[in-house]
Amino acid sequence: MKTVEKTSLPTFPFTAIVGQEEMKLALQLNVIDPKIGGVIIMGDRGTGKSTTIRAIADLLPEIEIVKDDPFNSHPTNPELMNSSVLEQFRNNETIETELVNIPMVDLPLGATEDRVCGTIDIEKALTEGVKAFEPGLLAKANRGILYVDEVNLLDDHLVDILLDSAASGWNTVEREGISVRHPARFVLVGSGNPEEGELRPQLLDRFGMHAEIRTVKDPELRVKIVEERTAFDQNPQIWIDKYQEEQEALRSKLVTAQQLLPSIEIDYDFRVKISQICSELDVDGLRGDIVVNRAAKAFAALNNKTKVDLDDISNIIVLCLRHRLRKDPLESIDSGAKVRKVFNDIFEI
């Protein structure tokens, strides 16, 4: 097995990021269970959204992939292989592997559908006369993180494609007589500034979680953030070394949580009350119920528990439901506070 060396620029350590606890928690839970459905992070400009998302990708351990495979195929899991690797696997052929960093793919605002999904390799078609598939960003993001900055400005059609792939774990492309289906399992992270426009409710609902972040108001905390960023920029390696132990501890905690997740249990009574909260809040569909159950289990796993308790649900309920509420312009209470009030009423807190 070959290990691919890191060649990217230094990344600010995740454990060194001050504040923005909602965003950090949502990212960690989606890493533990990608089936939560990703997270949309909305907030002011310059609040560290991009820095935090890149930091969580850098924190995660390397993954084993089939060498030189553009789809990041898993060498032993058929559900994470492209068709050619799957054929090799079924024929018991030797598959060469390598270790790579977790893929972190940025989707630019001007991206086309072909760039996202993949298209025909024109060069091969012209020079060799063969129809070959050229993988897109969804292939590159398989088993990693796909980050869309200013997602509220992205074309709705592209957002639909991203959400469909994130939900199903597959991308199907049909172009010029070629039909290709490949795994596309990734954590979808979108960020944006609400002042520049909101996502349509139908699209917003399909993100598993919604984190809100605000500019830090405390002057002393602002000074601390500026000083830490300045120190990192002056000598990144010293700063990375300073947080090495904390980074390793959190990395180990996330890996343990991923392993523990399948065994986490949640009582029937809790499941009923979660659905009661969703019903009381008039949440459309059952996506809210499913996400709250998944996120509560992921939070329990993160805290090394084997069973979901009330505290686990309390810590994730707002993240999972605030963006699924119908907006009433005459209502003074914000969506997060409304979710919290209904939660407290139903659990009699």
47-56, 241-250, 255-264: range with lowest mean pLDDT = 47-56
Band the pLDDT of 282: cuts 50, 70, 90.
very high
Average pLDDT over residues 170-199: 82
**Distance separating alpha carbons of residues 349 and 347, to the nearest angstrom:** 6
Catalytic site positions: 287
What local confidence, expressed as pLDDT, does residue 8 receive? 60
* Residue type (1 letter), 188: L
What local confidence, expressed as pLDDT, does residue 163 receive? 84
What local confidence, expressed as pLDDT, does residue 217 receive? 82
Which DSSP letter does residue 100 get?
Answer: E
Q: What is the pLDDT of residues 212-245, one digit of tens each?
A: 888 878 888 888 888 888 888 888 888 888 899 9
User: What class is the 2-216 domain?
Assistant: alpha beta
> 63: which 2 tokens?
């993954």
In terms of pLDDT, which residue wins out, 250 or 124? Answer: 250
What local confidence, expressed as pLDDT, does residue 332 receive? 56
- For residue 321, give the nearest of 200, 161, 204, 193 by alpha carbon: 204
Average pLDDT over residues 43-68: 85
What local confidence, expressed as pLDDT, does residue 3 receive? 46
Q: Could you please report the per-residue DSSP string of 163-228?
A: HHHHHHSEEEEEETTEEEEEE--EEEEEEE-GGG-PPPHHHHTTSSEEEEE-----HHHHHHHHHH
**Distance separating alpha carbons of residues 254 and 179, to the nearest angstrom:** 37
Average pLDDT over residues 282-303: 94
* Residue type (1 letter), 58: D
What local confidence, expressed as pLDDT, does residue 315 receive? 96
Q: What is the pLDDT of residues 113-163, one digit of tens each?
A: 888 988 876 666 556 656 677 888 999 999 999 999 888 888 888 888 888
Band the pLDDT of 339: cuts 50, 70, 90.
very high
Q: How far is CA 294 from CA 33, 37, 315, 320, 341, in A?
A: 8, 10, 13, 10, 21
CA angle 203, 334, 22 (to 5 degrees): 70
Give the global pTM: 0.87
Burial of 127 (0-12, 13-18, 19+ CB in 10 A): exposed
In terms of pLDDT, which residue wins out, 290 or 126? Answer: 290
Q: What is the CATH number of domain 261-346?
A: 1.10.8.80
Strands 170-175 and 178-183, bridge-based pairing: antiparallel
What local confidence, expressed as pLDDT, does residue 125 receive? 57
Strands 63-66 and 97-100, bridge-based pairing: antiparallel
Residue 4, pLDDT above cutoff 50: no
Average pLDDT over residues 94-110: 88
> 332: which 2 tokens?
């003074």
Residue-range domain boundaries for the chain:
2-216, 261-346
Q: Residue 61 contacts by C-beta under 8 Å, 6 or more apart in sequence?
A: 102, 251, 255
Band the pLDDT of 330: cuts 50, 70, 90.
low
